């Protein structure tokens, strides 16, 4: 099928109900734009200047405990606060609408070793992170005013990570944010029209096609989605229909840790660099409503395009018109499949 898609075309994203334009012929264009520095794994296990290392003082003044595994805390500079003042001002126009926004934002340190990333942690260490994510989702989503729990990781300076220590964030909000709200609508629509789960149908389609699948285990599949926007974007999806992490069995949690380890290692090996990305889990809203349409999955959005130093920019037509990519998802999947699952930079 790859040969059929070498001319400009656009592809439909049923999960977002939007289009992406694909322009494969543009891969030959010369590049004279920004070239970033290649990121090598950090070799320092403890950094006395790091705000997240065990025993260190954070920017806000609090001191971290001498943690030996997982460490979570409320973000010292949170984007949302649990208490929001009531809005008393009447807008001058119906076009000037605002409302209070509440939330609780936390940081989760994956490991005390400053030098590690998910790709260089063991599967057992990643399983402990999965368990911590599950607990945080359950506890935060159990608050009666929290409607969504967004678990995510910004990996690397290129993706805006302010600290290289292995960590992610959890923003729980008193509303359902735009992206999961759009996915809720799409999944509801598909279920109403077909009687089937959208992502269950999609996994079956990809299994039949085989072109875009990167790796599988008994419980999870990782693939470059048909509608991928970022060059090496990946969708990680559970094979069983379930909505959120607390529904995962012990074996499925192991399967998720295995998939995360293997996928992030392939990412690093692609350009032999500490691969930057934004990764996040999309799961059932905690708004008190029934959501049989929801299917647990994670998105990986890496910016790298041609090498460890050249990235994709979402500018111009992408900002003003619609998303556009050069290399086809099939090409990206083939390149990631060819990567080893043994990390190029041995731990220790």
Extract the tokens encoding 244: 């959120």
| Alpha-carbon distances of 273 from 25, 156, 235, 345, rounded to whole Å | 26, 10, 21, 9
Please, which residues have CB within 8 angstroms of residue 345's CB and are 6 or more apart in sequence? 40, 41, 120, 268, 272
Q: How many CB atoms lie within 10 A of CB 314?
A: 12
- The answer to whether the CB of 40 falls within 8 A of the CB of 274 is yes
- The C-alpha atoms of residue 312 and residue 205 are separated, in whole angstroms, by 28
Q: In what order do the strands lie in the sheet with 324-325?
A: 9-13, 18-22, 324-325
- The SS3 call for residue 325 is strand
Please, which residues have CB within 8 angstroms of residue 53's CB and are 6 or more apart in sequence? 46, 47, 64, 112, 114, 165
- The answer to whether the CB of 296 falls within 8 A of the CB of 245 is yes
C-alpha R_g of the chain? 21
Strand partners, 304: 311
3-state helix, strand, coil in the chain (%, to 5): 30, 20, 50
CA nearest 307: which of 61, 42, 62, 38?
38
Q: Where in the sequence numbering do the catalytic residues fall?
A: 167
- The answer to whether the CB of 112 falls within 8 A of the CB of 54 is yes
């Amino acid at each position: 099928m790859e040969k059929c898609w070498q001319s400009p075309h656009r592809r439909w994203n049923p999960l977002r109900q939007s289009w992406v334009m694909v322009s494969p012929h543009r891969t030959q264009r010369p590049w004279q734009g920004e070239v970033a520095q290649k990121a090598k794994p950090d070799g320092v296990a403890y950094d006395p200047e790091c705000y997240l290392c065990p025993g260190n003082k954070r920017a806000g003044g609090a001191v971290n405990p001498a943690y030996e595994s997982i460490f979570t805390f409320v973000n010292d500079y949170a984007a949302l606060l649990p208490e929001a003042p009531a809005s008393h001002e009447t807008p001058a126009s119906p076009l000037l609408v605002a409302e209070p926004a509440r939330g609780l934002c936390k940081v989760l340190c994956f490991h005390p070793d400053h030098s590690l990333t998910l790709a260089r942690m063991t599967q057992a260490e990643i399983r402990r992170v999965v368990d911590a994510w599950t607990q945080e989702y359950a506890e935060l989503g159990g608050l009666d005013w929290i409607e969504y729990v967004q678990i995510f990781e910004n990996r690397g300076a290129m993706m805006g990570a302010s600290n290289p220590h292995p960590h992610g964030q959890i923003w729980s909000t008193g509303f359902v944010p735009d992206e999961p709200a759009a996915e809720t609508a799409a999944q509801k629509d598909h279920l109403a029209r077909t009687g089937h789960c959208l992502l269950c149908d999609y996994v079956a389609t990809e299994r039949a096609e085989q072109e875009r699948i990167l790796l599988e285990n008994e419980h999870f599949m990782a693939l470059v989605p048909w509608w991928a926007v970022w060059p090496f974007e990946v969708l990680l999806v559970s094979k069983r229909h379930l909505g959120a992490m607390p529904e995962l069995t012990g074996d499925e949690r192991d399967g998720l840790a295995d998939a995360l380890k293997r996928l992030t290692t392939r990412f690093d090996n692609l350009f032999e660099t500490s691969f930057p990305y934004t990764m996040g889990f999309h799961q059932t809203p905690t708004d008190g409503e029934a959501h049989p349409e929801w299917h647990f999955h994670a998105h990986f959005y890496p910016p790298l395009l041609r090498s460890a130093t050249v990235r994709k920019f979402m500018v111009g037509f992408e900002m003003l018109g619609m998303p556009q990519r050069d290399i086809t998802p099939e090409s990206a999947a083939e390149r990631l499949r060819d990567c080893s699952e043994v990390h190029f930079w041995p731990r220790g």
